Amino acid sequence: MDFIVLASGSKGNATILKHGERRYLVDAGISLRMMQSRLSIKNDRLDRLDGIFVTHEHTDHISFLVALVNKFHCPVYLTEGTKRNLSRVIRENLKEDDYRVIGFDEPLLLEDFAVMAFPTYHDALEPCGYKFAVGGKTLVYMTDTGYFPDDRIDAIRNADAYILEANHDPEMLLESDRPWLLKRRILDDQGHLSNADSAFLALNLAGDRTRLIMLAHLSQECNTPEKALETYYGVFAEQGVSPGQYRIICALQNEPMEIVSL
């Protein structure tokens, strides 16, 4: 399984998963033209999609869902709550046959490609993250969550790679010009993970198989890659864990990441 994060942040999210000839997309927050432009930088191209996995219904994750489904005639995988809360425009322009509703903790097998949705905690109707597995390798994708409960950790522990939200630095957020209600929303348990909260969660998730932790959905106003990495390294060191045993990198809003092979 290969994956490439094409965009990550509040202005649009999209990650391509590749296995053999199959191509899957996690979230559809940027246009096909932008995807092709960013893939071309990596000497790649998107000529087919076998499915789109949607984490939740916020616009930075679904803005180009209709256009992509109509282009590639592929199914959309999502929770029942996310489906119910899609905008009227999307519901009017997709057919019922386009949807594949999935439940939490119910493994979905697409030939030898296994997918499991798990709940996240965000101000959406039924948001989720995904665990993807093939050939004994696993990738966990989790963004847009205000916290993650201890009793859920075992189900996604010790993946080979994590794409994990590290949205904001609390001090930068509180000192920003954002309205107070927005600050409260972000800091809430149904909001977004701070750098430190993300680092503590990563420590609980990572195991001896874990090699890569990619920090995702960084705020462009209330975070920086340098701040996120500094916080991660500090938390790991305080807990007696060498961050050098993992590769920790930051996904970006306006640039594609490298292609990662598991």
pLDDT-above-90 percentage for the chain: 92
Q: Quick one: pLDDT band at residue 185, thresholds 50, 70, 90?
A: confident
Report whether 26 contacts 60 (CB < 8 A): no
- pLDDT beyond 90 at 188: no
Q: What's the mean per-residue pLDDT of the chain?
A: 96
Report whether 218 contacts 167 (CB < 8 A): yes
Q: Quick one: pLDDT band at residue 244, thresholds 50, 70, 90?
A: confident
Domains contained in the chain, number? 1
Mind listing the pLDDT tens digit for each residue in 143-177?
A: 999 999 999 999 999 999 999 999 999 999 999 99
Identify the weakest region by mean pLDDT among 24-33, 101-110, 179-188: 179-188
pLDDT of residue 45: 93
Mean pLDDT of 121-138: 96
Domain interval for residue 240 = 2-261
* CATH code (residue 202): 3.60.15.10
Mean pLDDT of 47-63: 97
pLDDT-above-70 percentage for the chain: 100
Sign of torsion over alpha carbons 68, 71, 77, 81: positive
- pLDDT beyond 90 at 31: yes
The pTM of this model reads 0.96
Q: Tell me, rounded to whole angstroms, the distance of Cα 185 from its chain centroid.
A: 19
Residue whose token pair is 């101000």: 123
pLDDT of residue 204: 97
pLDDT of residue 243: 83
- pLDDT beyond 90 at 182: no
pLDDT of residue 189: 87
Report whether 65 contacts 99 (CB < 8 A): no
- pLDDT beyond 90 at 35: yes
pLDDT of residue 220: 94
Furthest-apart CA atoms within the chain: distance in Å: 53
Report whether 215 contacts 169 (CB < 8 A): no
- pLDDT beyond 90 at 195: yes
